[in-house]
Amino acid sequence: MLLTILGCSGSLPGPDAPASGYLVEADGFSLAVDFGSGVLAALQAHRDPFSLGAVLFSHLHPDHCGDFTGLTVLRRYHPDPPYDPTERKLPVHGPSESPDRFARAYAESAEELARTDLGDVFEFHALPEGTVHIGPFEVTAARVAHPCEAYGFRIATPDASLVYTGDSGPCEALHELADGVDVLLSEATWQHREDRPADLHLSGRQAGRLAADAGVGELLLTHVAPWTDPEVVLAEAREQFTGPVELARRGKSYRIG
């Protein structure tokens, strides 16, 4: 399994990276996980965007899905696509509101909204809690602690496993998902303070604690907000987790398993 960081800036794009977006690949299949602002540009630097096998959304905050409208333009209006996108629709797995929210974000008028639901080039699947198969991946989705329909994922092949927290405060679901995983890609939006809201995000300390309690192989910290010092977040995580920890970096790839 190969994980490539397309974007890792928390809550909004930052000076060094797009907002959240990751490419997870195995057996020639490319799964985009989240597609925040700036991610389509980063994807084009790595892969032909028509080569995506599916898109998976943790939740529908703009920093996780803002570039989806660009993907719609690409698939509808590219003058010379490598295949017919209306014949080979791109599977999109996400929260139940995804088709409606994306259509509203794309349509420029009520008339256009009434004419199309983006189903001409995408095939939407509402995420169930539990396991779905996407290409070569077994994807287990669990609701996490964030103020909307939000999921964390365990993405596994027979010989590799990755857990992505999405956006979440500390919760039992993350501990269950992350149990013994090879790589934990954990959000660490902010420095630890006792007065942070409970059901929103993790601090570096909480991400490190999660990694330690779940016995993960390696911790990658992501979704650090542009106004947060990443070195402080990294130091917090390292105080809790003695295994390998690093800050996810735009453009870097990690081989898992």
Two structure tokens written together for 9: 């800036």
Two structure tokens written together for 250: 């735009």
Q: Which is nearer to Zn ion, 167 or 218 (CB)?
A: 167
Residue 41: which residues within 8 A CB-CB, separation 6 or more? 18, 67
Q: Is 101 exposed, middle or buried (0-12, 13-18, 19+ CB in 10 A)?
A: middle
Q: Within 10 A of 88 (CB to CB), how many other CB atoms are there?
A: 14
Listed residue (5, 6, 56, 51) closest to 28, CA to CA: 51
Helices 204-214 and 230-240, interaxial angle, to 10°? 30
Q: How far is the CB of 166 from Zn ion (least distance, A)?
A: 8
Q: Which is nearer to Zn ion, 63 or 67 (CB)?
A: 63
Q: Which is nearer to Zn ion, 26 or 187 (CB)?
A: 187
Residues of this chain that interact with Zn ion (CB under 5 A) are 61, 63, 167
Phi, psi of 130 (to 5 degrees): 125, -160
Listed residue (76, 34, 73) closest to 55, CA to CA: 34
| Sole residue written with tokens 């993960």 | 216
Residue 177: which residues within 8 A CB-CB, separation 6 or more? 140, 142, 152, 153, 154, 163
Helix, strand or coil, per DSSP, at residue 142? strand
Q: How far is the CB of 65 from Zn ion (least distance, A)?
A: 10
Q: Which is nearer to Zn ion, 149 or 167 (CB)?
A: 167
Q: How far is the CB of 94 from Zn ion (least distance, A)?
A: 13
Q: How far is the CB of 147 from Zn ion (least distance, A)?
A: 8
Q: Which is nearer to Zn ion, 226 or 243 (CB)?
A: 226
Q: How far is the CB of 191 from Zn ion (least distance, A)?
A: 17
Q: Which is nearer to Zn ion, 156 or 225 (CB)?
A: 225
Q: How far is the CB of 26 from Zn ion (least distance, A)?
A: 25
